[in-house]
Amino acid sequence: MGSYRVELTRSAEKDLRCIDRSQTATIYSALERLEQEPRPQGTKKLAGANRTYRIRVGDYRVVYEIEDDVLVVLVIRIAHRKDVYR
């Protein structure tokens, strides 16, 4: 399997800017790991969506789509677990 490219939507970039800096380093390292393994252990496939998954990073959730045909992981949302699905 080749290496995937991780891309963030504008809203995901905005989400990341609003998160406390002490948490962003952990989130960035989780995003880097998605380049090698887009479906790591603990990944949940979201119900009702074909290619949408989420991973836990501490109290935060990263929601993303995997586009296997072009080797892209598109991060849609990064938010605290209590707010992520709103």
Distance CA 35, CA 14 (A): 21
**How do the pLDDT tens digits run along the chain, 86 residues long?**
569 999 999 999 999 999 998 899 999 999 999 999 999 999 999 998 889 999 999 999 999 999 999 999 999 999 998 887 77
pTM: 0.91
CATH fourth-level superfamily of 5-80: RelE-like (3.30.2310.20)
For 11, phi then psi, to 5°, come to: -65, -35
Please, which residues have CB within 8 angstroms of residue 50's CB and are 6 or more apart in sequence? Answer: none
Beta-carbon contacts of residue 37 (< 8 Å; ≥ 6 apart): none
